[in-house]
Each structure stands twice: as structure tokens, then as C-alpha cells.
Amino acid sequence: MEFKEVQPEEIIQHEHPLILEDLQSMFQNYEEDDDDFDDLDLIAMQNFKSKCDICGLGIDWYHRYYYKCSQSSCSYSLHKFCGEMSTTFQFPAHPIHTLHLNKRSNSWSCHSCHTKHRDGICYHCSICNYEIDLRCVTFAGHIMIHHPGHPHPLISLTVNPALSMCYSCGKEHKGVFYHCTTCFNFSIHVNCVTLPFKLTLNHHVHMLTLSYSFSVIPYYSKCRICGMSISKHIWLYKCSKCRYYVHIDCATLRGEPFMSIFSHGITMTDSNFEAADYPNLLHYPLPDESYNMLHHVLRGDYQHFDKIMILKKVNKHKQGLHIHSSHKHPLLLINSPKTSLHNPYKRIKLTCDGCLRPITTMPFYMCSRADSGCGFYLHEWCTRLPSELKNHPGHPQHKLVLFHFPPSDLAYTGFTCNICGLCCNGFGYVCSNCNYLVDVNCGYIPARITHEAHPNHLLSRVDASSIQSGSTTMACNACAVIISGSELCFRCSFCDFYLDNRCALHLPKTIKNKYDKHPLKLSYSPIENHKSEYFCEVCEEELIPEKWFYHCQECGQSIHSACAPLILQSEQDVNSLNDQEGVYKFLNMKFGALRSFRGHHHPLSFLPGTKSDGCCYICLGELQSLLIFKCFTCKVAFHVKCYRKGKKSWQVVERLRLDFRPKHPKHRKEPKHQRPLTFYPNEVMRPITGHWKAIDDVIKQL
């Protein structure tokens, strides 16, 4: 007898019980931050391979479910669909009759795949003498896969390569695709189906996890390889310990753009310039606040200045006593530590009145009447600034002349630099024809630099308007602020990398702040092994680590780059939410000067406004993060711009004279309590729906 009907139990002849195993159970409940999940176990589970003892085909984790022997010493395994086979089968190629499970004892051929068999199990139609082997029966189970990135089974129906959009990476591919029969538009390329769940990159210490969906992605997050934005609608590799995100194409090196790896501080061995061709090249960031660009320039390292200002001695008998046109009192040269230098740890802020940078080294000049309250200080090199600048890159048509005092109407409030856009009340250069103003630091803006954030590539000074066209915009890679067309910025001509001049030149590599006993280092990306959220220790607001900030590795503390110079308690509330990016907006301002006003008995201090200062006494506007005059005796403050706008108006002066007088509260008569009245309408109006038939009749009449 050729055919013998069999039961599935006769085929699955195994002496031990079988258990159903879920290969993706660990992936369904996986949490990246949970230490209970071993990365090696997850990798081993995805790489699982076995052989089905019925159909002879392989078992992998895309089948998800399979039967295995309950005995650990036994390797007997079955596909789930092979272990659950039925005695009957309805084959799509033979729909007129039902096939029955039989066992043949002689040779036969499968009518579906034409494979010849000597004997074995098959599904047979006795009416048509039609039989198929178990491999063709299980074909439907093999073309279906389960993937943890999608809740429904996926089926591949394409024989020839097709061109389609891949849902997982958001790009167009040509090849084999898997489709979801439940979802209308879910289609995924086979290369994305087979992506490893875990992988490592040479330039990152932690393993990255393939992530399929995201509830929240930081707005400023970018791929750490190509520097492009991250979308929450596509799959990516991430490391939550470091807020490290990478496109799947970039992580698997299938589409990694050239020169992209170092765009966020990762070293490349190849350089696009010869160091010997640029002997005077400045390397940024400068080591710390004690390093000053003017110091390097005036020390003689850069030979492109003509006239140098020389100090004249006032009295030969008083050694070290000099007079300088920038100050009305004689200056004393300090070579020994008689005066405390700039020290954030001790809340000492010693600032040069010329370049407005901290004085951390000797020698320097101080006013001989410092004991009387005159707080004038100068770096030694700031006394040797050239009196004229020619061919300045921002204003080459006219020469710029050095001035020590801003124009009379800006004596206290300062001027706005046309290069960096920061207000300044220190030394500067001016064009008498055009009133073009630059501070002394921007007077020597270099033509080329290198920066640690973009190593081995030369950054050239360019006019932003010359490379912007139409609707295209450029954003600073440090603070993500759009670079305006009138700015001078630094650009890598080899890459899409830009830095505005403030972030490029004014952020030192390390800073000291009273909130941390260790120096804080400038960081260009999220810190490795930093699991908690980032917030600034100074302003106590949220910090976005995809933008440059300062961080202490020992204490785990972070500070906005704009909050780093705020070392005094009175400055803590200076910045508003819009002023936490890039550099401190009052970096070139020296505060604390006193000024007398007609009609007021106390001197007023020139300060940056804080939250605690409240509102302007003149316009009632907010004072935070703006320049103000404040009387600490009367506890009143007002905008500098409000004074400047109305300083010639006798009404403003009269208002200040009257309002600054002590006020006695007058007795106010409390209003009598009135009984509240409630109005109840007699009839409640309800909306009435129109009658469709009536409307149709009207249309017919028309």
C-alpha cells in the first residue's frame, strides 16, 4: 500500500515533552536603562539558529515561536507551524479538494516544487493523485516573519527586486521588502529587517540599541556621525546613557558622509592643511580665562600692526607710577601679589577696563587711588594697544582709531560692537566717518583658526552675507543660533560646519566657577555615562547638552556657556531663558560704576537687571537681563534706556525727584461686601437641526 493516513502525533515522535519558546520575549520588555538586561544575552538571542526536525529548514528569531525539548540535554526543535500541523490542509494551488496527511512508502514527486522523494510524509489528494511535501506546506510560515519593531506579522511577496520607500529608515530602496497585511502603508526593506539589535562603534564606549519608536526626542538632537537632525518617525541607534543618537545608515556605515565623524569633536587623522604654512595660527579654545588673544598679539607673535602707544612717566622719583590717557588718576604697576587677582572660588571679580577680561596674571596696572574706591585696572598689554587699525576685515575702507572712553552719551551704557554684536564699555576702535565701532577684542579677529570641536580642519573667517543666498540660513554649531547676514563667522570650507565669532573666540577651554571646586571643561556634546537630566548650576534652568556647555566630570555638574562668567551672587538671576545660549551677553561690560542723578540724594549703580529687581520705575517693564540703574538705599531701579530716552525731559527728572521720596501709605477705605447676584434665564435656547427634506424642496424650486 502506497499511502497510509497518519496523525500529527505519529510524526512528532519524541520521548520528552515539548515546550513553546518565545525568542523575542526579552526584546518586548527590554528597557535600555535597566541593568537586569545583559547585552550579550540579547545579542545571543537575536543570533539564535537551529534546525527543524520535521521540515529540515532553519529556525531563527524572526520565526519568534518554536518548540523545543524540555530536557536541556536534548536538541530536538520544531517550527511552531510544523509542531501544530493538522491532518488536513487546504492548499491554494489545489483549491478544489482538501489534502490529507499521509505517509508514502515509495518514490514520489512534489507537485508544487517538483522535488523527488523516495518516501516520507506528504499531504495527498486521493481523487486527483496530487501531493505536496511538508516544505511547500510550511512555505507560508517561512515567508512570514515577526519583528519586534512592528506589532503585526510581516510577509514578503516579492520575487524580483522592487523600488519602494522603507518605513524604518525613511529612504527609498530597491530590493526585497516585507509588508504588513494589517497596516496599509508599512513596508520595510530586508536590510533594515536584519539590522542588529545591538552594535558597537569605534568612537563610542557603550553599545548602541536599535530603537523603533520614541515618545520624546530632544528638539536639538542630531546624529552624532553625520550631524543631521533626528526624526522620531524613523528607527535609529541610541545610547540613553549619553544621549547619543545615530542614524541606522550612519551606524552601519552604509551611508556615512565623508568628513562627518569629527563634526562633533571626534578626531580624524587626516588634516586638510599644512601646519608649516600657517606659523601664526591660533588654536581654540584658549586654555582658560587667563589667556587673552590681545596678549598673544601684542607680545609680538603676530607682525601686522604699525603704531604702538607708549606710556609716559609722571614722576621719575616714584618708580612704577604712570599716567595713561584712559584714566584721570596715575596708575601703579603691580608686580607682586599686593592685590587679589580674579578668583571665582573666592567671589573676587577683577576685570580689565580695557579688554573687559579677567586679570589673572601679573604685571598689571591699577589706579593709585584704589583705596579711595576707584576700581580702574588694566592689563599690561592693554596699555600697548595700537592707536590705529587699517584694513580691518569688517571695515576696510577707512582706518579705525583707538578710543578709551565711549562717546559722551554712551559713557556708562557702552556701545554695541559691529562685529560681535555685544555691548561694551571698555576700549574700542571707531571710524570717525561712518561711526563704525568695534571693541578691542574684535579689532584683532583672526583670519583663520583651528578649533577642538572640529579638529584638523582649518576654519576661515568669512562674511556670512557672502555665502548666504535666498532662503538658505546658517546656524552656529555651538549655540544653534541663526547667523545673520551681516556677521563675520568662521567656516570650514570642506564641511558644513559654522561657528559665530562669539562662540569661536570667547569661550575658553576651561573655566572656574564658585559652584564647583574643580575647573569645568567646555563640552561639545552630551557627556558619556551621564544618565540624569542636565540643568545649569548657576541659573537652575534646563540645559540642552547638544549645545556647547561647561561640565565637571568629577562632580557631574554642568553650566550654560552663557552662565559661566556669573560668579557673584547678585548676578545669578541675570540671564533670561532667551539669553542662555552662546556667550554671556554682558561679557564686554564692567559693572558697579556709581552715578549721581539730579533730584536724588543717593548714587545709583550701573548693573545688569535681575529677577529680584522687579520692574522699571519709569516704564514698569521687566528689568531682568537688561542694563539698569539701581539705588540700593531706596530699593528702586529703572532701565538705562528709559533714562537715555528722557534725560532731557524735565518731566522725567521731576518724576524721579518726586517718586524717590519716601512714601507713607495712606489709609484706604475697604469697600463694603456686596452680595453676589446670579442671573437665571427664563428660557434656555437649544440649537435646532434643519430638516433635510425641506432643504431639498427648496433646492428643487430653485
Confidence category of residue 519, pLDDT binned at 50, 70, 90? very high
- Residue ranges of E strands in 330-468: 331-334, 364-367, 377-379, 388-389, 400-403, 415-416, 423-424, 428-431, 436-439, 448-451, 454-463
Are domains 509-579 and 594-657 of this chain identical in fold?
yes
Give CA–CA dist 269/110, Å, rounded: 61
Choose between 544 and 405: higher pLDDT: 544
Buried residues in 151-187 as b, exposed as e (16+ CB within 10 A): eeebebeeeeeeebebbbbeeebeebbbbbeeeeebb
The band of 34, judged by pLDDT with boundaries at 50, 70 and 90, is: low
Exposure class string for 287-321: b at 16+ Cβ within 10 A, else e = eebbebbbbbbbeeeeeebeeeeeeeeeeeeeeee
- Alpha carbon distance 447, 464 (integer Å): 14
**pLDDT attached to residue 204:** 80
- The answer to whether 525 and 558 are in contact (CB under 8 A) is no
Hey, what CATH topology would domain 509-579 get? Wheat Germ Agglutinin (Isolectin 2); domain 1 (3.30.60)
Q: Please tell me which residue, 651 or 387, carries the higher pLDDT value.
A: 387
Q: Is the pLDDT of residue 509 over 60?
A: yes
Percentage of the residues of the chain whose pLDDT score is greater than 90: 11
| Rounded CA separation 531/58 (Å) | 40
Q: Is the pLDDT of residue 144 over 70?
A: yes
Mean pLDDT (the chain) is: 78
Among 125-134, 304-313, 494-503, 671-680, where is mean pLDDT lowest?
304-313
pLDDT at 259 over 60: no
Torsion of CA 280, 285, 291, 294, to 10 degrees: 50
- Phi, psi for 371 (deg, rounded to 5): -65, -20
pLDDT tens across 347-400, in order? 888 999 889 999 988 888 888 887 777 888 888 888 888 889 989 998 999 999
What average pLDDT does range 244-249 have in this prediction? 87
Q: What is the DSSP string of 308-355?
A: ----EES-TTSTTEEE-TT-SS-EEEE-STTS---BGGGTB--B-TTT
CB burial class (10 A; 0-12, 13-18, 19+) of residue 273?
A: middle
* pLDDT tier for residue 205 given thresholds of 50, 70 and 90: confident
Burial 482-493 (b: 16+ CB within 10 A, else e): ebeeebbbbbbe
**Mean pLDDT on 526-550:** 87
pLDDT reading at 75 higher than 90: no
Residue 427, all three cell numbers:
576700549
Global pTM reads: 0.71
Q: What is the CATH number of domain 594-657?
A: 3.30.60
How many residues are present in the chain?
Answer: 702
Instruction: Identify whether the C-beta of residue 541 lies closer than 8 Å to the C-beta of residue 580.
Output: yes
Does residue 273 register a pLDDT over 50? yes
User: pLDDT tens digits for 629-645?
Assistant: 888 888 888 888 887 66
Q: Grid coordinates representing 492?
A: 570650514
pLDDT band of residue 262 (cuts 50, 70, 90) is very low
pLDDT digits (tens, 9 = 90+) for 389-401: 989 998 999 999 9
Residue with the bigger pLDDT between 641 and 699: it is 641
List the one residue out of 20, 218, 65, 58 whose CA is nearest residue 135: 58
Looking at 174-188, 279-293, 496-510, 638-652, which range is the least confident one? 638-652
Hey, where are the domains in the chain?
3-142, 154-264, 310-384, 509-579, 594-657
Question: Tens of pLDDT along 590-627?
Answer: 888 887 777 677 888 888 998 888 888 888 888 988 98
How many Å apart are CA 542 and CA 525, to the nearest integer? 15
The SS3 of residue 474 is strand
| SS3 at position 26 | helix
How far is it between the farthest Cα atoms of the chain? 132
Q: What are phi and psi of 82, to 5 degrees?
A: -75, -35
